[in-house]
Amino acid sequence: MPDATPTSIDRREFVQWLGGGILVVVNLPMTSVLSPREGAQRRQRGYPEDINAYLHIAGDGSVTLYSGKIEMGQGIMTSLTQEAAEELGVALDTIRIVMGDTDNCPWDMGTFGSLTTRMFGPAVRAAAAQARLVLTDLAAQRLGAPRSSLTVENGVVYVTRDRSRHVSYGELARGERITHTLNERAVLRAVEEFAVMNRSPRRLDGHEKVTGEAKYAGDIRRPGMLYARILRPPSHGASLTRVDTAAARAMRGVTVVNEDGFVAVLAADPETAEQALALVDAQFDLPAPKVDTESIFDHLVRVAPTPDTPEREGDLAAGRRRSVKMFDATYYNSYVAHAPMEPHSAVAEIANGKATVWSSTQAPFSQQETIARAIGFRPEAVRVITPYVGGGFGGKVPGQQAVEAARLAKITGKPVQVCWTRAEEFFYDTFRPAAVIKVSSGIDAAGRVVLWDYQVYGAGSRGSDVFYDIANRSVRVYGEWRGAPRGMHPFAVGAWRAPAANSNRFAAEQQIDMMAAAAGVDPLAFRLKNTKDERMIAVLEAVGTASGWEPAVTPQRTGRGRGVACGIDAETYVALAADVTVDSATGAVTVERVVCAQDMGLVVNPDGARMQMEGCIAMGLGYVFSEEVSFEGGTVLDTNFDTYGLPRFSWMPKIETVTVPNNHLPPKGGGEPAIINMGAVVANAIFDATGARVYRLPMTRERVLEAMGSLE
Amino acid sequence: MTDTIRFTLNGTPVTLETDANRTLLWVLRTDLELTGTKYGCGVGICGSCTVVVDGQAVPACQINLTFVQGREVMTIEGLAQNGKLHRIQQAFHELGGFQCGYCTPGMIMNAYALLLEHPRPTREQIVEGMERNLCRCGAHKRIVDAIEEASHA
């Protein structure tokens, strides 16, 4: 491919650059797709506001879909291609997808929030459906038959009644240099007609990933490339007071950079760079630590900003008066790391006034802007290319490593790779925030929830919405994870797979469970009794059926327990049921089985959706049992997986997943919902097994034992 | 210091003139440009860099070139033969035993050594054998399924 393409996409130039053929751009009404903030960003950047997907049909019939989204394991390379293939009427392997390349792809805010399938998917389907219209119109002229008399199969347009008369997409595109922007809304194919969507082909990234051919940012090699290691402070908030790089400079083949305290060593191989860094003698001033792993919770409540009140209905005082039983509880969770297996990586190369940066990022377009600012280039002079990303989970948005690589490439004049070590990864992660959640609730004599007074500090609002039918309720949110007041957290925090929802559901679904037990009602029946939301009722009933739920009042205190929890995330409804055993001597909890029922609307790729549910359950076990960042002030004490434990094979329960059919609803999010209830479903099962409630995540053996001890 | 290092890499003899103390992982990834073997933790506890040396799974980040002198080293790039996937790769692909794919080469190489030792492992043996390999996306269930499937192929 040619290297330079117009960044402000001129459609005619773009199609010429593509070497002819037909380019279809979509201008769906953007109000439903973009927030005003995104729209403004896009305008500022000179990207067409009205385009969110391009599809190109070449003269050989091959089709390329351009998407600003990135593939980090969630499987959208496959599902987006399925959507395009379905609507265009071609086989899946006809389509190539180009993702996350700022020179070639339409502007995109970033791959997060389970937005791809529910927001970008419709644009892809529209683009492909409109392309089908364009091609069918061209075929109608070519074949001398009206559009209505034609059918499309596998990229060939036939006269329905005389199949000897046909023309292929490639023949139609050949010699054309046309760009179509259609405003006529093409009719999308109906579920009953699907041949590619709602099916589970093998993943398109599979072959490359099982052979080791898949390239990640750290696998990019450029001629003369240097490997960089950067001097890091021992603590957030530390300042460099003295640095001596003489010994590193004396090493053969080592380049040392010191630009206003940005100190890096570079060499032709990573081990030499590592050795050189060890020779850099630096001193830092450390601020006195103000908070640590244990004192953070009081701190969060103390420094909390004034709350937002996303929900306020009825009258809390009246709710208290009507309550025959009241429940007050406080829930806690610690900071949690993203810990993707691929640390942040980037390679930057500057040539002829243009910077090309390969970056492991969830947000190539915002990265392009950040890099441009850091090296004093115009954004158009920076191209960010996103190879496969080795896990993101919300942690690969800021892109500091790519900025570092670009700065070093500019300073040294050579291509530079920056791949963080695991210790750097733990240090610069934007952790899931620690949180404190206080809930006061009450039930009336009939076992109906009549009071819900909910306050969350640190985590944020997502997942705190009340879908139970509670007349007197209030939700107060003291600070979102985004834009938390300075000093609230001792280091950066950010989005972590379903941000805030994991914390909020841990609290809310235990509180509900607590009331069910006190009311003497089976916890599943209690939830059904207290909600009128039909989608929630459907997933609760589905999880009951799939798990073989037999109603019983908790706790049964047999050492074996069963829990249920539910929630809404990314417009998807999800309910989980879990079976656990608890060793009363050690506090060790084994999760034997997790059943997940999910209503995610129309499912583009059922097996891909199941993979995400399974992944959520497996990953969730980490924050449930072991994951907790230890720190003293700005010093992060965890530097590797020896002290920060991730879920392992032996922890895995039997996992069963069910999708509740809801084909009339467009596809909803699938990457995050199933993880949000993992804390509560396990806590509720522990309660059933032991009668003890664990209020703090992670539920380590010590905390489980302590909770059991407090019963005596 | 320059030493002469000879070993077999994916069935082909390799001779390197370099420092024998260098780490296999970085030599594979830089000098030999075989980037399928991944860095994950650097201390031999995540399994991302697993390669097979004389039939044993070892973390490439923990061994130097002296260790591989005269031995047979197999990396993910050497598993498929003439473009045909190895049955373990095939099973991972068919059953979806991966998501982001970054831990996958290490998983597959560890599974390869596991099946050399236990051609028909029980599920418990698979779990035990894979225990030190970390996957963050949560593909564990399908990885075990895939190894089981491959052992029956």
Looking at residue A289, what DSSP letter applies?
Answer: P
Query: Domain of A397: which CATH number?
Result: 3.30.365.10
* Residues above pLDDT 90, as percent of chain B: 99
Cβ separation A649–B77 shorter than 8 A: no
Q: What is the mean pLDDT of residues A542-547?
A: 98
Assigned domain for A162 exists: yes
* Residues above pLDDT 90, as percent of chain A: 84
Residue with tokens 């920056």: A418
Among the partner-chain residues A271, A419, A614, the one whose CB lies closest to the CB of B141 is: A614
What DSSP assignment string belongs to A370-404? HHHHHHT--GGGEEEE--B-S--TT-SSS-HHHHH
Q: What is the pLDDT of residues A380-430, one digit of tens each?
A: 999 999 999 999 999 999 999 999 999 999 999 999 999 999 999 999 999
Among the partner-chain residues A208, A391, A652, the one whose CB lies closest to the CB of B100 is: A391
A645 at interface of B, judged by CB pairs closer than 8 A: no
pLDDT at A27 (0 to 100): 60
Q: Do A445 and A566 reside in the same domain of the chain?
A: yes
Domain boundary among A193, A211, A229: A211
In B, minimum Cα distance to A617 occurs at B138
Q: Do B100 and B55 reside in the same domain of the chain?
A: no
Q: Do B56 and B106 reside in the same domain of the chain?
A: no
Say if residue A457 is exposed, middle or buried (CB neighbours under 10 Å; 0-12, 13-18, 19+).
buried
pLDDT at A118 (0 to 100): 86
pLDDT at A63 (0 to 100): 94
Query: Domain of B31: which CATH number?
Result: 3.10.20.30
Omega within 30 of 0 (cis) for the link into A698: yes
Domain residues for B105? 87-152
Q: Do A608 and A684 reside in the same domain of the chain?
A: yes
Q: Say whether pLDDT at A51 is over 70.
A: no
Q: What is the pLDDT of residues A311-353, one digit of tens each?
A: 999 999 999 999 999 999 999 999 999 999 999 999 999 999 9
Cβ separation A422–B40 shorter than 8 A: yes
Q: Do B9 and B68 reside in the same domain of the chain?
A: yes
pLDDT at A114 (0 to 100): 81
pLDDT at A578 (0 to 100): 98
Assigned domain for A54 exists: yes
Q: How confident is the model at residue A50 (pLDDT cuts 50, 70, 90)?
A: very low
Tokens of A358: 């390969």
Q: Do B73 and B104 reside in the same domain of the chain?
A: no
Mutation target vs A (from B136, B142, B144, B147; most A CBs, 10 A cutoff): B136
Q: What is the pLDDT of residues A499-536, one digit of tens each?
A: 999 999 999 999 999 999 999 999 999 999 999 999 99
What is the edge-to-edge ordering of all strands in the sheet holding B56-59? B12-18, B3-9, B72-74, B50-53, B56-59
Q: Which residues touch A378 (CB under 8 Å, ≥6 apart)?
A: A372
pLDDT at A126 (0 to 100): 84
Domain boundary among B78, B99, B125: B78
Shortest distance, CA A215 to any CA of chain B (angstroms): 8
Domain boundary among B78, B108, B129: B78
Q: Do B69 and B92 reside in the same domain of the chain?
A: no
pLDDT at A2 (0 to 100): 31
- Number of A/B CB contacts below 8 angstroms equals 171
Q: Do A197 and A264 reside in the same domain of the chain?
A: no
Cβ separation A270–B30 shorter than 8 A: yes
Q: Say whether pLDDT at B108 is over 60.
A: yes
Long-range contacts of A418-421 (CB under 8 A, 24+ apart): A418/A228, A418/A230, A418/A345, A418/A346, A418/A347, A418/A348, A419/A217, A419/A218, A419/A227, A419/A270, A419/A343, A419/A344, A419/A345, A419/A346, A419/B39, A420/A343, A420/A344, A420/A345, A421/A343, A421/B42
Q: Do B102 and B137 reside in the same domain of the chain?
A: yes
Q: What is the pLDDT of residues A114-171, one digit of tens each?
A: 888 888 888 889 889 888 988 999 999 999 999 999 999 999 999 999 999 999 999 9
Distance of CA A284 to the CA centre of its chain: 35
Side-chain half-sphere CA neighbours of A677 within 13 A: 30
Q: Do A110 and A203 reside in the same domain of the chain?
A: yes
A340 at interface of B, judged by CB pairs closer than 8 A: yes
Q: Say whether pLDDT at A105 is over 50.
A: yes
Q: How confident is the model at residue A48 (pLDDT cuts 50, 70, 90)?
A: very low
Q: Do B52 and B73 reside in the same domain of the chain?
A: yes
What total of structural domains would you count in chain B? 2
Q: Do A325 and A455 reside in the same domain of the chain?
A: yes
Q: Do B111 and B137 reside in the same domain of the chain?
A: yes
Cα(A408)–Cα(A414) distance, rounded to whole angstroms? 8
Q: What's the Cα-to-Cα distance from A341 to each of A396, B110, B114, rounded to whole Å?
A: 12, 16, 22
Domain boundary among B57, B78, B99: B78
What single-letter amino acid sits at B13? P
Q: What is the pLDDT of residues B60-86, one digit of tens each?
A: 999 999 999 999 999 999 999 999 999
Strand pairing of B12-18 and A635-636?
Answer: unpaired
Q: Do B103 and B121 reside in the same domain of the chain?
A: yes
ipTM of the complex: 0.98
Whether the CB-CB separation of A637 and A631 falls below 8 Å is answered with yes
Looking at residue A30, what DSSP letter applies?
Answer: G
Q: How confident is the model at residue A570 (pLDDT cuts 50, 70, 90)?
A: very high
Q: How confident is the model at residue A53 (pLDDT cuts 50, 70, 90)?
A: low
Q: Do B71 and B97 reside in the same domain of the chain?
A: no
Q: Do A549 and A670 reside in the same domain of the chain?
A: yes
Q: What is the pLDDT of residues B7-48, one digit of tens each?
A: 999 999 999 999 999 999 999 999 999 999 999 999 999 999
pLDDT at A453 (0 to 100): 98
Q: Do A523 and A643 reside in the same domain of the chain?
A: yes
Shortest distance, CA B136 to any CA of chain A (angstroms): 6
Domain boundary among A361, A386, A419: A419
Least reliable range by pLDDT among A41-55, A417-431, A475-489: A41-55
Cα(A198)–Cα(A140) distance, rounded to whole angstroms? 30
Q: Do B73 and B25 reside in the same domain of the chain?
A: yes
Q: Do B8 and B29 reside in the same domain of the chain?
A: yes
Domain residues for A508? 296-335+431-709
Residues of chain A in contact with residue B29, where contact means CB-CB under 8 angstroms, are: 219
Whether the CB-CB separation of A562 and A551 falls below 8 Å is answered with no
Mutation target vs B (from A99, A208, A209, A432; most B CBs, 10 A cutoff): A209
Q: Do A382 and A525 reside in the same domain of the chain?
A: no
Cβ separation B138–A619 shorter than 8 A: yes
Q: Do A550 and A617 reside in the same domain of the chain?
A: yes
Q: Do A358 and A407 reside in the same domain of the chain?
A: yes
What total of structural domains would you count in chain A? 3
Cα(B50)–Cα(A490) distance, rounded to whole angstroms? 36
Assigned domain for A385 exists: yes
Domain boundary among A195, A211, A227: A211
